[in-house]
Amino acid sequence: MLTAGSASTVHAVRSGTGSRYHAFDASSAPSSPEGTEGKSVISTAWPPIGPRAAVEDIALALAASKGGVLVTGPSGSGKSYLTTRAVNELRGRSFVVVIRGSAALARSPYGALNILLSDLDPGYLAHPVLVLSALTNLLRERSEGKPVYLVIENAVELDELAAMTVAQLARNGTAQLVLTCTDPQRLGGEITRLCGDGFLRRIDLKPLTFHESHAWLEAGLGAQVSPSGAHALWTASGGNPHYLKMLAAELAESGSLLKSDGVWVLTSRSEQHGRAITDLITTRLGRMGDGERKVLEVLSLARAVPLESLLALASADDVDSLEKRSVLVVDDSLPRMARLQSQLVGDVVRANVPPGRSNELRGLLLKSMDPALGQRSMLLSMAAWALDCGAKLGREEALEAAAMANRQLDARLALRLVRSIPGHSTVPGAVAEEARAMMTLGDVAGARDLLSLQLDEPGNGATLAELAEWVRLKLAEAVVLLALPETTAQACETLAHVRRRLEDETTTAAEGQDMATLREELVLAESQAASYSGSYAEMAARLEEVLQDFESHGTEFRLLAGSWLCEAWALTGRQSEAADMAEQLTADCHDPAVSVAAARRATSRLRFAFVLAGRWDKEGEMVQPGDDLLVSAAEALPTAIDLPKAIFRCLQGRGQDGLEALIPVISQLRVQDNEGMLDVACTAAAYASALQGDHEQALRYLKEASTQLRRPTWRKERTKRYLAALARDRVNGPEAAVEELLRLADADRDEGAPGHEIFCLSSAVRLGAVAAAPRLLDSALRCQGRFAELCVAYARATMSGSAELLLEAARLAEDMQNDRFAFDIAETVLHMDQVQLDKTVLRKARQLAETCRQRLRTPQSGNQEGLKLTAREMEIARLAANRESNKGIAAKLHVSVRTVEGHLYQIFGKLKIVERSELSFALGNVEGGAK
């Protein structure tokens, strides 16, 4: 049991899950973890917590209230900091008295007010009315007519007489109160009545959101923080600013939080938070009663408990008290589940519960639980709890829990569960789950060696359980075989054999649901295999048949299978259908019944469908599943949070935005890349660097990408080659890039993927392969969606040579948010013979190019390159753009009017404009490129 003095020397070891918030630094060299920057010293002076609006809210509440403001929030949420900042802004025009309540002072009458009562006759203290009158006079005298503010920190520690006096000072208008407290339920009756009567405005400080925490971490640490690292620290701290700051400092002090290429990154090394956090949390929780400690222990060990079951173990008052103090939270799911707000609190409490006590609590919880109230959802945490406390865990329970852990990407817990089974290496189901866990951790060789065990196929008389174990072992084997190009065919043969066996199997009605689950697992495995081989037409046909009976499947399967179908449709020319289905499935990504790991993988495919369909608005609006969840997958995937969005920015041509998002992701992937996505991230960074004009950096990223050997899926391989071609266009010129893009288009056509073919062809045409425009038109006409419509319009405009049609196509691209496409077309118009162009078309093209260039934040390229204005020309151009006459310019610069006219002739020629009114847009091009 946790008490103030019983803190263990073990600092919150995370049972079975591995650490979610361990930090690490890798060298900037991609192939070596050596050469780290070493331990970094974190400044103790962190920036303000949260937006300035929080301080302004306090000031506004004071101005609007009769008696003041009450600021509540958990310990470490920043109450004192924010109130101090707010009051400091009032000091110059008011009289401020700061009072700090404490348990020691609360034992004496008027204890917290002794700073004000020290000059009074001791006899006054026996008469509350005299005390109130004396304090009223004292404050009015000392304030000299200024407003009076009583700032009382930890207001729950005011004794009854002090609380009554303070309340009366607010009611009679002598002073306004600025109170802070952690637990409003413990406030004295007089203070509580002030809130009820409207004299006090209450402001509750909420935990920081993920994005607020990420921004604050970067400001406090003085550098970028990898998104997955920030998410792990936010999850561990529960959004509590004080815990967040301490955790970052302790991990940095231990050498676990280091910088790679100037970015703070995390690792999977088994480092825990330090003693300071343990002591702080232990002290804060030490004064809790037995009932509250019991609730804390149960939630720490079980992670999440149905509220009804928790109330069967503890009093409602104890649960309510902890919830109102934001120690625990109760979600809105059915059944309602209670969990601790901060993982750190759970870690500290769990580490200090003896095994015997832990086992006792587990037994009590199991007795109180109704299977209909979330026991299924608690299978994993209860199994991990059993391992920790030495409770008996049956083979089937361990296997089921290991499968659930693998679905949630908690590979380390899956391995613990599997290896707890006696003789697990001879149990097919255990071997299957062990292999899956090893693949999640990126250990392909280990998984392959593990599956060398040969298992005879069960005969026709086999039980469903025996058949299920064999099927899952074969599905795991197929996953491992897909990791190597030379064994792809063998993986497909394995899956085909499993399908034949399941189709031949006859089952009883009672076995129907279990057999349906096996078939669903097979469908997803076949879809994964097709994603490696590029057999998308076959995938689409199979999934369409499976999903005909849509409602017969569970939410997670429908989402995963539907996302595969979206990817297949988008690539095989049915982009509109893919986008429509993707839009319907997006909401399911945030369904509580769907694991975060499954939702993130589905989201990646839905994003891809939106991109190929030209629904870039929908792609941009997508929110990554789990970003707002304090409880997330144990194996945080660096690619899951920011990589898809960063690549999308690159496809838009927004090199600077893309690079800003890619750098922290790449730094994290150099440390841990279980999914093998570093090469794609580096290729995208190469293109982004090339867009920014940094060719040397682009080449370095391309070289690093070429050293990654992990087997790619079809989509990943195509994305990498496409981005690499665009990068090399910027570095080496368009010839080689066009050749590679046309090769990719040929391969796409041969493999039945016109959705990707038109992406490659449209880029090749924009790079100068005008002869490919008819083929682009033919392929685009066989596809659906807004992007295909854009390609049709662009191909026809290119074939006609019409500037007006090209400008219409550029407008379509801009409406689709494809800024790079629109910019390239506008530049094409500006490269045409301007003598024969309509001035209105020319002006619109230049305006569109400038608008897109500003959104792209890309250095000047195109028709202005090499035509920079001299300093004198720039000076004259700016004056002329500001409607200064030639005579006026000449007078200001002390030159002749003829000299000004000559300069303007040169300026118009360099900027390829014909009217003075076009100077402002043209100057935007030149000045932007010079920055």
Residues 6+ apart with CB under 8 A from 709: none
Give residue 510's pLDDT: 43
pLDDT tens track for 751-769: 999 999 999 999 999 999 9
Identify which of 542, 540, 520 has the alpha carbon closest to the alpha carbon of residue 581.
Answer: 540
pLDDT tens track for 672-720: 787 788 999 999 999 999 998 899 999 999 999 988 777 788 999 999 9
**What value does the mean pLDDT take over residues 309-331?**
87
Whether the pLDDT of residue 745 is over 90: the answer is yes
Burial 865-877 (b: 16+ CB within 10 A, else e): eeeebeeebbebb
Distance in angstroms (rounded) separating the CA atoms of residues 877 and 916: 9
Identify which of 809, 751, 749 has the alpha carbon closest to the alpha carbon of residue 779.
Answer: 749
Distance in angstroms (rounded) separating the CA atoms of residues 541 and 555: 21
Identify which of 860, 859, 830 has the alpha carbon closest to the alpha carbon of residue 847.
Answer: 830
Alpha-helical segments (H) within 707-784: 714-732, 734-750, 754-766, 773-781
Distance in angstroms (rounded) separating the CA atoms of residues 287 and 77: 19
Residues 6+ apart with CB under 8 A from 769: 738, 741, 742
Alpha-helical segments (H) within 33-78: 53-64
Of the ranges 60-69, 220-229, 762-771, 775-784, which one carries the lowest mean pLDDT score?
60-69
Residue 764 has which token pair? Answer: 């090749």
Cα first-last separation, the chain: 63
Identify which of 525, 532, 561 has the alpha carbon closest to the alpha carbon of residue 546.
Answer: 561
Distance in angstroms (rounded) separating the CA atoms of residues 657 and 662: 9
Distance in angstroms (rounded) separating the CA atoms of residues 417 and 801: 67
Its pTM stands at 0.80
Distance in angstroms (rounded) separating the CA atoms of residues 685 and 659: 6
Please, are residues 223 and 264 in contact by the beta-carbon 8 Å criterion? yes
| Length of the chain (residues) | 931
Give residue 775's pLDDT: 97
Distance in angstroms (rounded) separating the CA atoms of residues 878 and 797: 35
Which strand (E) or helix (H) includes residue 470?
helix 464-482
Which strand (E) or helix (H) includes residue 162?
helix 160-171
Residue corresponding to tokens 């999308």? 648
Distance in angstroms (rounded) separating the CA atoms of residues 473 and 426: 12
Pairing of strands 328-330, 337-340: antiparallel
Give residue 41's pLDDT: 55
Whether the pLDDT of residue 638 is over 60: the answer is no
Q: Mean of the per-residue pLDDT values for the chain?
A: 83
Give residue 35's pLDDT: 39
Identify which of 818, 765, 831 has the alpha carbon closest to the alpha carbon of residue 792.
Answer: 765
Identify which of 813, 810, 876 has the alpha carbon closest to the alpha carbon of residue 847.
Answer: 810
Please, are residues 296 and 340 in contact by the beta-carbon 8 Å criterion? yes
| Beta bridge partner(s), residue 97 | 150
Identify which of 349, 373, 375, 447 has the alpha carbon closest to the alpha carbon of residue 406.
Answer: 447
Residue corresponding to tokens 């946790």? 2
* Residue 678 CB burial class (10 angstroms; 0-12, 13-18, ≥19): buried
Pairing of strands 95-100, 337-340: unpaired
Give residue 436's pLDDT: 92
pLDDT tens track for 543-582: 999 999 877 888 999 999 999 999 999 999 999 999 999 9
pLDDT tens track for 835-857: 677 888 888 888 898 888 888 87
Dihedral sign for Cα atoms in the order 422, 425, 427, 432: positive
Identify which of 166, 160, 161 has the alpha carbon closest to the alpha carbon of residue 194.
Answer: 166
| Confidence band of 872 (pLDDT split at 50, 70, 90) | confident
% of the chain with per-residue pLDDT over 90:
32
Give residue 642's pLDDT: 77
Please, are residues 359 and 353 in contact by the beta-carbon 8 Å criterion? no
Identify which of 927, 773, 910, 928 has the alpha carbon closest to the alpha carbon of residue 830.
Answer: 910
Please, are residues 431 and 425 in contact by the beta-carbon 8 Å criterion? yes
Please, are residues 410 and 433 in contact by the beta-carbon 8 Å criterion? no
Distance in angstroms (rounded) separating the CA atoms of residues 459 and 208: 57
Residue 840 has which token pair? Answer: 């209105």
* Residue 41 CB burial class (10 angstroms; 0-12, 13-18, ≥19): exposed
Residue 414 has which token pair? Answer: 């899956």
Residue 447 has which token pair? Answer: 């998984």
Peptide bond into 51 cis (omega under 30): no
Give residue 744's pLDDT: 96
Name the residue with higher pLDDT: 354 or 871: 354
**What value does the mean pLDDT take over residues 732-743?**
92
Give residue 37's pLDDT: 53
Give residue 8's pLDDT: 31
Residue 534 Rama label (left phi>0; alpha psi -120 to 50; beta): left
**What value does the mean pLDDT take over residues 140-160?**
88
Residue 32 has which token pair? Answer: 């070596």
% of the chain with per-residue pLDDT over 70:
86
| Confidence band of 252 (pLDDT split at 50, 70, 90) | confident
